Structure 1
């Protein structure tokens, strides 16, 4: 989750550093209700909502999904 231990620590460290103007979380799936209070500038889902977890966890599928999410993120924040 975006508020789990590791994401929360990464977010806190980025904010403390003062160097990160924007902090984005790539998540397997996203609960839209949890995003506004998460503290992240954006939370981008990696897995399509209708994709079974077993398929999303296949290495080749996971790699393709991460690449697509990273491209989406880069596109969203390069404007």
Structure 2
């Protein structure tokens, strides 16, 4: 089963979304949006960018041998141009 995006309310007039894995683990939480339409647009932006985005390791000096391919999780990621 695939993960799901869930739109929820924060307070009376703010909305956010969560990306939840099939096992129920929350993978990501969005910033707040003023409207449900804004939250839905945020979901669409994440879906579009995740499919084509680069993996950028900013945790330390990038060791290219440790980079992971975003599709397979195997070494050899498509690194962002420097």
Higher strand share: 2
Structure of larger gyration radius: 2
Report the TM-score, using the length of structure 1 for normalisation.
0.32
Higher helix share: 1
